[in-house]
Amino acid sequence: MSLSKLAGKGVYVQGNDIDTDRIIPARYLKCVTFDELGPSLFYDVRFESDGTSKDHVLDAHQHEGAEILISDDNFGCGSSREHAPQAIQKFGLKAVIAGSFAEIFQGNCTTLGIPCVVMDEANRVKLTADVEKHPESEIIIDLEGMQVICANAIYPILMKESTREAFLTSTFDPLDNLLGAKTEIHSTAKKLGYA
């Protein structure tokens, strides 16, 4: 499955340095599979401790069914927990647009097939204003053209070339590729005294 083009409604979760503890609080890491994580996404930001809604933007009716998450700088910093991108994906979000990303988070997203694309602040301001005004607008992330298209406006985006290539060639989950080099792995292990 090539992920060269994705489209969906957007939702803007504002703020720099949104860490993975905020994306998925540690108590939800008590699980032996990732299957049930969707509803716990951003839990403490969305709900009071008694479960009452804080009317967070992710729960606003006009953003129901949103598939593109937009945020600001250093998104996904902190803990390496894959539970964070797993929760994002299971919530129904397919891609993230932000000012910048923390690397472990971005790597985890890539492996799961969630493109993380970088957009500068000036363009993000325009895009998020548009999303807030017209939440039903479709956002198209085009990794071939390295652009986001929304309501007839085109916004340039960035992505590391090897990551982009991985999405374009559907090799974002590297496992099969890695397993294709068993002989070379063994000789490296032997050379270094590890086998």
Partner 1 sequence: MGKNLFQKVWDDHVIRQLDNGQHQVFMALHLIHEVTSPQAFGMLKDKGLNVAYPKRTYATVDHIIPTDNQSRPLADDMAEKMIQVLSDASSEHGIEFFAPESGSQGIVHVVGPELGLTQPGMTICCGDSHTATHGAFGCIALGIGTSQVRDVLASQTLAMDPLKVRRIKVDGELSVGVTAKDVILHIIRILGVNGGVGYAYEYGGSVIDAMTMEERMTVCNMSIEGGARCGYINPDETTFEFLKGRERVPADFDEACEKWRGYASDLEASYDDEVLISAADIKPTVTWGVTPAQAISIEELVPSPHKAEGLDKNLINDALSYMKLEAGAPIKGTKIDVAFIGSCTNGRLSDFQAVAKVIEGKTVASNVRAIAVPGSEKVDKDARAIGLHDLFEAAGFEWRKPGCSMCLAMNPDKLVGDEICASSSNRNFIGRQGSSTGRTILMSPIMVAASAIEGSVADAREVFNLTEETS
- The rounded distance, in Å, linking the Cα atoms of 90 and 93 is 7
- Whichever of 136 and 192 has its CB closer to partner 1, that residue is 192
Residue type, 27: R
- Which of 127-135, 137-145, 148-156, 169-177 is the region at the interface with partner 1 (rule: CB under 8 A)? 169-177
Contact 117, 159 (CB under 8 A): yes
Q: Which residues ranging from 111 to 150 are in contact with partner 1 (CB under 8 A)?
A: 111-112
- The rounded distance, in Å, linking the Cα atoms of 91 and 5 is 20
In the complex, minimum distance from the CB of residue 15 to partner 1, in angstroms, rounded to a whole number: 7
Task: Please report the sign of the dihedral spanned by the C-alpha atoms of residue 39, residue 53, residue 100, residue 123.
Answer: positive
In the complex, minimum distance from the CB of residue 10 to partner 1, in angstroms, rounded to a whole number: 19
By CB under 8 A, residue 32 contacts partner 1: yes
Query: Which neighbouring-strand residues pair with 9?
Result: 138
- Whichever of 60 and 188 has its CB closer to partner 1, that residue is 188
In the complex, minimum distance from the CB of residue 20 to partner 1, in angstroms, rounded to a whole number: 9
